Structure 1
Amino acid sequence: MDQGGDVLNVVDVEATCWDGSPPPGAVSEIIEIGLTVVDLRAGERSARHRILVRPVRSAVSAFCTELTGLTQAEVDTGVSFAEACRTLAAEHRAGTRPWASWGDYDRRQFARQCRATGTPYPFGRRHTNAKAVFTDAHGLGKRPGMAQALRIAGLPLEGRHHRGEDDAWNIAALVLSLAKAGRWEDPQDHGTGW
Structure 2
Amino acid sequence: MESQKKTSQSANKTPASENDEEEDCCANTSCEKNEKQKPSSPKQGDFSDPVYKEIAVANGAINRMNRDELRVKCAELKLDTRGVKDVLRKRLKSYYKKQKLMHSAAANGNTDTYFDYICVVDFEATCEENNPPDYLHEIIEFPMVLIDIHTLEIVDSFQEYVKPVVNPQLSEFCVKLTGITQKMVDEAETFHQVLKRAVSWLQEKELGTKYKYTFLTDGSWDMGKFLHTQCKLSSIRYPQFARKWINIRKSYRNFYKVPRTQTKLICMLENLGMQYDGRPHCGLDDSRNIARIAIHMLKDGSQLRVNECLHSGEPRSVPISAPIEGAPAPQTPKKRD
- TM-score where L is the length of structure 1: 0.88
Compute the RMSD of aligned alpha carbons: 2.4
Cα 1:175/1:185, change in 2 over 3 Å: same
The question of whether the paired residues in 1 share the 8 Å contact of 2:158 and 2:198 is answered with: no
**Matched residue, 1:160:** 279
Letter in 1 for 2:227: F
Correspondence list, 1:175-186, <5 A: 175-186=294-305
Deviations 1:51-85 (A, max 9, x none): 11010111211101111111111111212111122
Greater fraction helix:
2
CA deviations over 1:158-180 (Å, ceiling 9, x no partner): 11010000000000001111111
Superposition pairs of residues 1-194 of structure 1, within 5 angstroms: 5-22=115-132, 27-58=136-167, 59-93=169-203, 96=208, 97-108=213-224, 109-122=226-239, 123-143=241-261, 144-187=263-306, 190-191=309-310, 194=313
CA distance in 2, matches of 1:14, 1:173: 19
Structure 1 stretch displaced more, 132-141 or 90-99: 90-99
Larger proportion of strand: 1
**Secondary structure of the residue that 1:31 maps to in structure 2?**
strand
Gaps of 5+ in 2: 1-112, 314-337
Change (3 A) 1:72 1:82: same
* Identity within the alignment, %: 27
Which TM-score applies when normalising by structure 2?
0.53
Distance 1:4 1:88 in 2: 23
Query: Structure 1 unaligned runs (5+)?
Result: none
CA-CA distance at 1:187 after TM superposition: 2.4
Q: Distance in 1 between matches of 2:292 and 2:275?
A: 9
**CA deviation after TM superposition for structure 1 residue 4, in Å:** 5.4
Q: Rg bigger for which structure? A: 2
Measured at CA, do residues 190 and 25 of structure 1 come closer, stay the same or move farther in structure 2, by a change above 3 Å? closer
3-state DSSP class of the match of 1:98? strand
Moved over 2 A (4+): 24-27, 93-97, 120-126, 184-194
